[in-house]
């Protein structure tokens, strides 16, 4: 437990991650691909397996009830984490990718017609491109693009131009680029889209771990993310959707538990959110995700709120606050950017230094005459984990005129020493590769 006023204790945080307890510890700078998982999450999942393992919403026995309570408690935690109005606006999926596919299939198939258009930004991950391309092939809709400016920010004038056609039904954009680390002006995009009668889906796969996302304040219509980038398990994702929209959407997958009744002639779907959760859901994973959120932020909010009778210096928390995470991650990224910039021939992608734009989560770069795969392979041999390639953002890389880049990404457990070790290793690798 930490006092409210205590600064973020990184050593204390790192001790909670089995992966980081290895000796010597790996230099893990690939949290944008997958964050590591703390003991609290693993313990909650093991605890569920040991004492509550049973299917949910089916059995009448005690374990089945306990399991259902744990699963629905996880849903409530996600609801609080996102500040969603209703818990049935939270749908558990396999991943962020599946959540976006759910919207493209279920909402897209039934609400779009030929000549309707959707808008994407040039920053998008393939998970927020391909489902819409598939819809384009099936329905004859148009996919319109927001280009990016010199800082990597989606061009609002493109959005305004597309919206003026009156054909745009949904704008689907990332809340945080997994390559450039920039956050588009979400409030403005949502306001402009709504004014033009279009919906907005936010791909929060990256943003979810780096900034508070309040779906009511943002007023987004859909929001998708995966558990594994938020210190939670794999195999679980979330779709948030406004209740009034989810109610108009047909089920995405068919199977057990998503029905009210099945006849020989057909079926009627269940109410929300069961309608979208066909078959046995990822129960242990949902419990793990809820715990990850409590571990990270929600737990402390709840605990502080519950201790309103205690004087402020008696208030304790079990989690970390965004007010701690954000300055820590900001200072890591600034340190990484400054250090990388010292390497000759290294080019940082993203905002220009004088733009004053804050980036989050990652910094990507290219190095003259060195292929990102060669660089990351050499670093990998020294237990330094970076990511190389197009990061599932081929259109963005094409737009930037490069085939691939190298990405360094941070999490709440990252240290400046890890960044220094990485920068030093890049300098050495470069010498080796250029000789
Ligand atoms: C911005 C963004 N969107 C979507 C995804 C897809 O997430 P997942 O593979 O967990 O479904 C990722 C994963 O890297 C991402 O970075």
The yes-or-no verdict on residue 109 having pLDDT over 60 is: yes
pLDDT at 319: 53
Report how far residue 42's alpha carbon sits from residue 232's, in angstroms, rounded to the nearest whole number: 9
96 in contact with ligand 1, CB cutoff 6 A: yes
User: Which residue CA neighbors atom 7 of ligand 1 most closely?
Assistant: 96
pTM for the full predicted model: 0.94
- Reported as a single tens digit per residue, the pLDDT across 19-60 is 999 999 999 999 999 999 999 999 999 999 999 999 999 878
Q: Is 300 a catalytic residue?
A: no
pLDDT band at residue 185 under the 50/70/90 scheme: very high
pLDDT, average across residues 221-248:
98
Q: Which residues pair with 223 in a beta bridge?
A: 202, 240
**Considering 96, 300, 362, 392, which one is annotated as catalytic?**
392
pLDDT at 4: 46
Mean of all residue pLDDT scores within the chain: 92
The yes-or-no verdict on residue 291 having pLDDT over 50 is: yes
pLDDT at 24: 92
pLDDT at 199: 98
In this structure, whether the domain defined by 43-289 belongs to CATH 3.40.640.10 is answered with yes
The yes-or-no verdict on residue 390 having pLDDT over 60 is: yes
409 in contact with ligand 1, CB cutoff 6 A: no
97 in contact with ligand 1, CB cutoff 6 A: yes
Report how far residue 193's alpha carbon sits from residue 205's, in angstroms, rounded to the nearest whole number: 21
Buried-exposed string 98-121: b where 16+ CB fall within 10 A, e elsewhere: bbbbbbbbbbbeeebeeebbbbbb
The yes-or-no verdict on residue 303 having pLDDT over 50 is: no
pLDDT band at residue 324 under the 50/70/90 scheme: confident
3-state SS of 331-358 is HHHHHHHHHHHCCCCEEECCCCHHHCCC
Which ligand 1 atom is at minimum distance from the Cα of 228? 10
68 versus 325: the higher-pLDDT residue is 68
The yes-or-no verdict on residue 6 having pLDDT over 60 is: no
* Distance from the Cα of residue 336 to its chain's centroid: 22
226 in contact with ligand 1, CB cutoff 6 A: yes
In this structure, whether the domain defined by 2-37+320-434 belongs to CATH 3.90.1150.10 is answered with yes
pLDDT at 316: 43
Which ligand 1 atom is at minimum distance from the Cα of 176? 1
pLDDT at 432: 87
The yes-or-no verdict on residue 220 having pLDDT over 70 is: yes
125 in contact with ligand 1, CB cutoff 6 A: yes
Number of H helices, E strands in the chain: 16, 17
Which ligand 1 atom is at minimum distance from the Cα of 391? 14
The yes-or-no verdict on residue 261 having pLDDT over 90 is: yes
pLDDT band at residue 315 under the 50/70/90 scheme: very low
356 versus 414: the higher-pLDDT residue is 414
User: Which residue CA neighbors atom 15 of ligand 1 most closely?
Assistant: 205
Domain ranges in the chain are 2-37+320-434, 43-289
């Amino acid at each position: 437990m930490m006092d409210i006023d205590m600064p973020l204790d990184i050593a204390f945080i790192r001790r909670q991650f089995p992966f980081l307890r290895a000796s010597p510890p790996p230099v893990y700078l690939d949290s944008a691909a997958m964050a590591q998982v703390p003991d609290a999450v693993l313990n909650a999942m093991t605890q569920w397996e040991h004492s509550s393992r049973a299917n949910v919403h089916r059995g009448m026995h005690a374990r089945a009830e306990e399991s259902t309570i744990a699963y629905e408690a996880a849903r409530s935690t996600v609801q609080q984490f996102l500040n969603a109005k209703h818990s049935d606006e939270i749908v558990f999926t396999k991943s962020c990718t599946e959540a976006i596919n759910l919207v493209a299939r279920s909402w897209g198939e039934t609400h779009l017609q030929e000549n309707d258009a959707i808008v994407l930004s040039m920053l998008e991950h393939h998970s927020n491109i391909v489902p819409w391309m598939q819809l384009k092939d099936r329905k004859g809709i148009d996919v319109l693009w927001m280009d990016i400016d010199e800082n990597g920010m989606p061009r609002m004038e493109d959005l305004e131009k597309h919206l003026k056609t009156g054909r745009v039904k949904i704008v689907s954009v990332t809340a945080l680029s997994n390559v450039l680390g920039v956050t588009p002006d979400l409030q403005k995009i949502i306001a402009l889209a709504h004014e033009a009668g279009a919906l907005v889906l936010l791909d929060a796969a990256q943003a979810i771990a780096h900034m508070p996302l309040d779906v009511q304040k943002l007023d987004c219509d859909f929001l998708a993310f995966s558990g594994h980038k938020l210190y939670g398990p794999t195999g679980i994702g979330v779709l948030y959707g406004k209740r009034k929209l989810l109610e108009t959407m047909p089920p995405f997958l068919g199977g057990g538990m998503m029905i009210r009744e099945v006849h020989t002639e057909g079926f009627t779907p269940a109410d929300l959110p069961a309608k979208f959760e066909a078959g046995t859901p990822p129960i242990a994973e949902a419990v793990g995700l809820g715990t990850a959120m409590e571990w990270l932020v929600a737990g402390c909010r709840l605990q502080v709120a519950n201790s309103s009778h205690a004087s402020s210096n008696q208030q304790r928390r079990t989690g970390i606050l965004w007010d701690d995470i954000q300055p820590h991650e900001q200072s890591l990224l600034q340190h990484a950017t400054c250090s990388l910039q010292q390497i000759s021939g290294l080019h940082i992608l993203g905002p220009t230094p004088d733009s004053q734009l804050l980036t989050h989560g990652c910094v990507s770069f290219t190095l003259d005459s060195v292929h990102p795969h060669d660089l990351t392979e050499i670093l990998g041999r020294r237990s330094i984990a970076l990511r190389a390639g197009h990061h599932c953002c081929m259109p963005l890389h094409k737009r930037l005129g490069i085939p691939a880049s190298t990405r360094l990404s941070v999490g709440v457990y990252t240290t400046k020493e890890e960044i220094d070790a990485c920068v030093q290793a890049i300098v050495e690798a470069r010498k080796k590769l250029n000789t």
